[in-house]
Every structure is written in structure tokens, then in C-alpha cells.
């Protein structure tokens, strides 16, 4: 954690310039009409130039684009952590720990499947709080247990130690992966309290939405799967949409679960179209899509209400992530032959 006074104004000023460099709707419209190699060339003329050139000798096609996007994302988010101090750092870092979760998951999956260290390194997105040196040491570890021990002192350690016992019994990575995600989500709101007004209140509201949406996704997935799973295991504390007992009850009744989300004062209106589709359609994808869009809109609204607060930084983080996901979706979509309309439907653009 960075010491010193909080500096949201400075970080916001830097972020504003970065935000202006994000791809516009017009850029997306151009990209949709390009093939993977044209997209890579187009990216070479944008701020992705350095990553495309650096990775161009090792990768080609859509893999080049995907790895360049990940590396660029990591660079930007790493800059955010470098610029921020004090509480600003803490508030940004707690959200960016999702990349620590990604990296630890990638490493334990790699060890689990005996993947060469070099390949694991390639898949890491070094945008989180964990130091590069620690990540490198974890990649070189022979056993998952060693990785768990190396995380001693991080928020993930206690949860991973408990999950490791389960992993040893079952031989499956599920408990470890769930423990990582749970620690991330449950630490999002740690020590923040429940402020009623001001930028902090908005920030908390956004994080609550993130947890609520994650709970909603998982509840719907559990309800759809029909398997005899304990919903409590998949419940994340901190949201306002469900209590644990509500979630456990609603998982057994799909329609009531959808109605519960629709009746929510905070999210009901925002998700009403997606929820109506969800009642009819078999797939959850449309709903997840709507959740992503709602979250992005949420963050954008927060940044316009308090333009120099941490919310604006968070809004930028989401917008950058979305840009990376959109470009990757366009490139992969073109590679696998999806039509322009299909790709456009999948993009989340504000």
C-alpha cells in the first residue's frame, strides 16, 4: 500500500488525458469492417503501437492483438497505481486486484496442467497489486502449495489456505479459484463503511453493484444448472440485492429469482429489458451483457457527478477494460467469421 496523502485530483488529471485517447464509436465502426491483420495495423497507429511492435515477432493474427491489448491494459493500470498515493491508491488497488486474481488463477492452472513457465508468463496481465518479482517466482513454483505460501501477507492467503485443504481432497481447482474470487469481492468494501453521501458513497454504491451483479449472475447460473449445489458457497457478502438466505431460497425458483431482481429499487428499471428477455430466452448471455452495460453506465454516471473523485478513475478503469474487450471481440469475431451485426450486438459501447 502506498503511503502519503490521497491525491485523487492528480490521478484524475492524468486519467482525463488517457480517457481522451480511448477508441471512439467511429473507431469501432471502422474496426468492425476490418480483418484481424488490418486491425493489428490500425492498432499500430494508435497508442497500442509499442505493444504491437514488441510482440509482433512472437505472435501474429488475433493472438498478437489479444496479447498486445492485455499488455497495454496492464501498463495503463500499473500507471494508475504508480501515480496514486494514500487512500486513492488503496481505492484503486482494491479494484485492480481482480487482475491479481486472474494472474494467480492462471499460474495455478498452469502448474496444475504442467504448462511451461514461459507460456504461463505470456498469459499474465500484470495490472494488479502483486509485484512482478512475486509473480515471476510463483510462475517458477513446482507446486500449488508453494504458490499459496508465497501469497502469505496478501488478502488471498487465509482463504487459499482453507481452500487448499479442499483442493487436496478433491483434486479440483474449484475451491482455490472460488476462494480467490471470494477474497477479491469481499475485500472490495472492506473498511469503507456505508457512507450516505459524497463521492465515497457513490464509490461504495458502484462496488455494491459489482457484487450484486456478480451474485445475480451466479444465482441465475446456479438456478439454470439444476445441479444440487449449496448456494451459500457461491454467495458473496457485501451487496444489497440479496441476503444469503434469500439467495439460497431463490436459487430453487428461477422465476421468483428473476422477479426479485426486477423488483429491486436500485437495479430493477436499469435491467428491466434484459430481465424480460431472460424470462423468455434460454441463454443468460444477453443478461450478462446487460449487466456489463449497466455497470459501465453506472461508473460513467458516477464520474460525471463527481468528476475529480475516485469514481472518475474507476469509470476510466471500466472504460479501458471495455475497450480492450471490444477490440478483442471484434478481432476474434472477425477471425471466427461472425457477421458485422453479430459483433456489433456483442459490443458494449456507451
Residues near other proteins (CB under 8 A): 62-63, 66, 70, 101, 105-106, 109-110, 112-113, 115, 123, 171-174, 176-178, 180-182, 184-185, 214, 217-218, 220-222, 225-229, 234, 236, 283-285, 287-288, 325, 328-329, 332-333, 336-338, 343, 346
| Residue at grid coordinates 486513492 | 88
CB of 44 to other proteins, least distance (A): 20
Q: Cβ of residue 83: shortest distance to other proteins, in angstroms?
A: 27
- Which CB, 315 or 326, lies closer to other proteins? 326
Of 11 and 347, CB closest to other proteins: 347
- Report CA 344 to chain centroid distance, whole Å: 21
Q: Which is nearer to other proteins, 54 or 305 (CB)?
A: 54
- Minimum gap (Å) between residue 167 Cβ and other proteins: 10
Residue 63 or 146: the one with the smaller Cβ distance to other proteins is: 63
Residue 278's φ and ψ, nearest 5 degrees, are: -65, -35
Q: Exposed, middle or buried by CB within 10 Å (0-12, 13-18, 19+), for 5?
A: exposed
Q: What is the DSSP-derived secondary structure letter of residue 23?
A: -
Query: How far is 329 from 65, CA to CA, in rounded Å?
Result: 10
Nearer to other proteins, 40 or 202 (CB): 40
**Cell numbers linked to 53:** 511492435
CB of 153 to other proteins, least distance (A): 22
CB of 263 to other proteins, least distance (A): 22
Element (H, E) at 278: helix 268-280
DSSP string, 299-350: HHHHHHHSTTSHHHHHHHHHHHHHHHHHHHHHHHHHHTT--HHHHHHH----
CA 224 to chain centre: 23
Q: Where are the alpha helices (DSSP H) in 113-152?
A: 117-123, 132-140, 144-150
Closer Cβ to other proteins, 262 or 284, answer by number: 284
Taking the complex as a whole, how short is the minimal distance between the CB of residue 174 and other proteins, in angstroms?
A: 6
Q: Which is nearer to other proteins, 200 or 334 (CB)?
A: 334
Tell me the closest approach of the beta carbon of residue 199 to other proteins, in angstroms: 27
Q: What is the closest distance, in whole angstroms, from the C-beta atom of residue 142 to other proteins in the complex? A: 17
Which residues fall within 8 angstroms of residue 299, CB to CB, at 6 or more apart?
206, 311, 314, 315, 318, 319
Q: Which is nearer to other proteins, 10 or 112 (CB)?
A: 112
CB of 198 to other proteins, least distance (A): 30
- Angle 302-100-85 from CA coordinates, rounded to 5°: 55
Cell match 481505492: residue?
91
For residue 64, give every residue at least 6 positions away whose Cβ sits within 8 Å of its Cβ, in sequence order, or none: 40, 52, 55, 56
User: In the Cβ-directed half-sphere of 259, how many Cα atoms lie within 13 Å?
Assistant: 6
Contact 75, 132 (CB under 8 A): no
Smaller CB separation from other proteins, 203 or 235: 235
Amino acid at each position: 500500500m502506498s503511503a502519503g496523502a490521497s491525491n485523487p485530483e492528480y490521478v484524475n488529471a492524468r486519467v482525463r488525458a488517457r480517457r481522451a485517447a480511448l477508441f471512439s464509436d467511429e473507431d469501432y465502426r471502422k474496426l468492425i469492417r476490418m480483418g484481424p491483420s488490418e486491425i493489428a495495423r490500425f492498432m499500430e497507429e494508435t497508442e497500442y503501437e509499442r505493444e504491437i511492435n514488441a510482440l509482433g515477432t512472437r505472435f501474429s493474427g488475433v493472438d498478437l492483438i489479444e496479447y498486445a491489448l492485455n499488455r497495454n491494459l496492464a501498463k495503463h493500470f500499473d500507471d494508475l497505481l504508480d501515480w496514486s498515493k494514500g487512500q486513492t491508491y488503496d481505492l484503486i488497488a482494491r479494484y485492480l486486484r481482480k487482475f491479481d486474481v486472474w494472474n494467480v488463477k492462471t499460474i495455478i492452472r498452469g502448474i496444475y496442467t504442467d504448462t511451461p513457465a514461459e507460456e504461463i508468463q505470456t498469459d499474465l496481465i500484470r495490472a494488479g497489486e502483486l509485484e512482478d518479482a512475486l509473480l515471476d517466482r510463483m510462475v517458477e513454483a513446482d507446486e500449488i502449495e508453494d504458490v499459496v505460501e508465497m501469497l502469505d501477507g496478501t488478502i488471498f492467503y487465509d482463504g487459499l489456505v482453507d481452500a487448499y485443504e479442499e483442493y487436496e481432497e478433491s483434486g479440483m481447482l474449484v475451491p482455490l479459484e472460488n476462494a480467490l474470487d471470494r477474497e477479491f469481492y469481499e475485500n472490495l468494501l472492506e473498511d469503507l463503511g456505508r457512507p450516505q453521501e459524497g463521492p465515497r458513497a457513490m464509490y461504495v454504491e458502484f462496488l455494491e453493484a459489482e457484487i450484486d451483479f456478480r451474485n445475480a449472475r451466479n444465482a441465475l447460473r446456479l438456478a439454470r444448472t439444476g445441479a444440487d449445489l449449496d448456494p451459500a458457497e457461491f454467495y458473496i457478502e457485501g451487496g444489497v440485492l440479496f441476503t444469503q438466505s434469500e439467495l439460497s431460497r431463490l436459487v430453487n425458483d428461477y422465476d421468483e429469482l428473476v422477479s426479485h431482481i426486477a423488483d429491486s429499487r436500485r437495479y430493477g428499471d436499469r435491467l428491466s429489458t434484459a430481465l424480460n428477455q431472460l424470462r423468455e430466452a434460454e441463454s443468460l448471455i444477453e443478461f450478462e451483457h446487460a449487466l456489463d452495460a449497466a455497470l459501465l453506465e453506472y461508473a460513467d454516471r458516477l464520474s460525471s457527478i463527481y468528476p475529480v473523485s475516485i469514481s472518475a478513475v474507476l469509470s476510466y478503469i471500466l472504460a479501458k477494460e471495455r475497450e480492450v474487450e471490444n477490440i478483442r471481440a471484434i478481432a476474434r469475431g472477425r477471425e471466427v467469421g461472425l457477421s458485422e451485426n453479430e459483433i456489433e450486438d456483442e459490443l458494449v459501447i456507451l
